[in-house]
Amino acid sequence: MVRTDDDTWDINESVGATALGVAGGRAAETNSADPLISDPYAQLFLEAAGDGIWKIYLDGELAAELADLDTQFGERMQAMIGYTASRTKFFDEFFLDAAAAGIEQVVILAAGLDSRAWRLQWPEGRVVFEIDQPKVLAFKIQTLEAHEVASIAKQVCVGIDLRQDWPKALVDAGFDISAPTAWSAEGLLPYLTSAAQDLLFERIRSLSAQGSRVAVEAFTNEFFGAESFARRAEQMERYREAAKKLGGKDIGESGNLLYEEERVEVVDWLRAHGWDVTTATGAEDLMAGNNRAVPSSLDGAVPESVFVEARLP
């Protein structure tokens, strides 16, 4: 799978399918004995999406068979579920704190199958703008409507690619440029080139009134390095081979959807552009704080990332 500057996708293909992977992690965590987060809608998305690698989160038998073929498989999958759960909790708390502080307008960049507008206890009058490719948002809305799930905050779809003129689309959809905003970029940055990432942050900055906040899953330059990429490619190949050996069970192909290139560290960028960085917690610390520490025997089981929050004074 080769990325292009103007590629598009549905929920079950290319970058769109990564949203199902994240929903899988949230479904697995929600269904676990002592969940860190609750996302009752994640499973609905997996069920509606048809066959693909994401089924692994619903099919205990398939996961068990893969674990038999690769002894580390179960541990690695558990580590990623712990990562997804910790990340979800981080952003849940960010939004609820911002809403409690009086911020009325939220923008979720690359919302994918994020169901926060439907599942968080938002105070009255909050608006959640969601930006993602049109087919991804359409799948989400259709699935929730089919199950008669109503949103708690007012939810507004802005179906557009983040490499196009999304600020205009956002304003056209009712975004108020004079009001403070809570922004999130979760599970997004590696799918953008370094230049597209810079442009994204410039646009966020220019649309942010005083008092705005931003939360980012920032990936370190170690993550974008060749070694880290090679390790992920090797893991992916192992699972593909294992799945093939199971015979008849197609867990799909994902290929490399990420842009392997160094970029400006998000914390540095934000500080240089007037933001006050209030939190920068490494993934390992975040997970350990949530009782989801990755066993030291597992190398590279979760992304090298930093969870950042910043405010515009």
211 within 8 A of 116, measured Cβ to Cβ: no
- Per-residue contact string for residues 140-179; x = within reach of ligand SAM by CB under 6 A: ---------------------xxx----------------
- State the Cα–Cα distance between residues 107 and 158, nearest whole angstrom: 10
Backbone φ and ψ for 132, nearest 5 degrees, come out as: -170, 180
The one among 133, 197, 208, 305 contacting ligand SAM by CB under 6 A:
133
Residues from 21 through 80 that contact ligand SAM (CB under 6 A): 22
The one among 19, 44, 66, 207 contacting ligand SAM by CB under 6 A:
19
Return the beta strands (E) in 201-265 as ranges.
213-219
For ligand SAM, the closer of residues 211 and 252 by Cβ is 252
- State the Cα–Cα distance between residues 166 and 188, nearest whole angstrom: 15
Structure tokens at 188: 């997004």
# of chain residues touching ligand SAM (CB under 6 A)? 20
For ligand SAM, the closer of residues 5 and 262 by Cβ is 5
For every residue of 93-110, which 3-state class applies, written as one string?
Answer: HHHHHHHHCCCCEEEEEC
For ligand SAM, the closer of residues 7 and 284 by Cβ is 7
Residue type at position 246: L
Looking at the DSSP bridge assignments, the partners of residue 129 are 107, 156
At 46, is the secondary structure helix, strand, or coil? Answer: helix
Window of 69-77, 130-138, 203-211, 274-282 that interacts with ligand SAM by CB under 6 A: 130-138
User: Among 105, 110, 117, which residue's Cα sits nearest to residue 182?
Assistant: 105
Backbone φ and ψ for 154, nearest 5 degrees, come out as: -75, 125
Under rule CB under 6 A, residue 12 binds ligand SAM: no
Window of 12-20, 167-175, 240-248, 304-312 that interacts with ligand SAM by CB under 6 A: 12-20
For ligand SAM, the closer of residues 37 and 61 by Cβ is 37
For ligand SAM, the closer of residues 3 and 249 by Cβ is 3
Structure tokens at 47: 């069920």
Window of 18-26, 62-70, 99-107, 117-125 that interacts with ligand SAM by CB under 6 A: 18-26
- State the Cα–Cα distance between residues 129 and 181, nearest whole angstrom: 10
Residues from 94 through 123 that contact ligand SAM (CB under 6 A): 110-114
The one among 39, 104, 132, 309 contacting ligand SAM by CB under 6 A:
132
- State the Cα–Cα distance between residues 190 and 308, nearest whole angstrom: 16
- Per-residue contact string for residues 177-216; x = within reach of ligand SAM by CB under 6 A: ---------xxx--x-------------------------
303 within 8 A of 79, measured Cβ to Cβ: no
Which residues of this chain interact with ligand SAM, rule CB under 6 A?
15-16, 18-19, 22, 110-114, 132-133, 136, 161-163, 186-188, 191
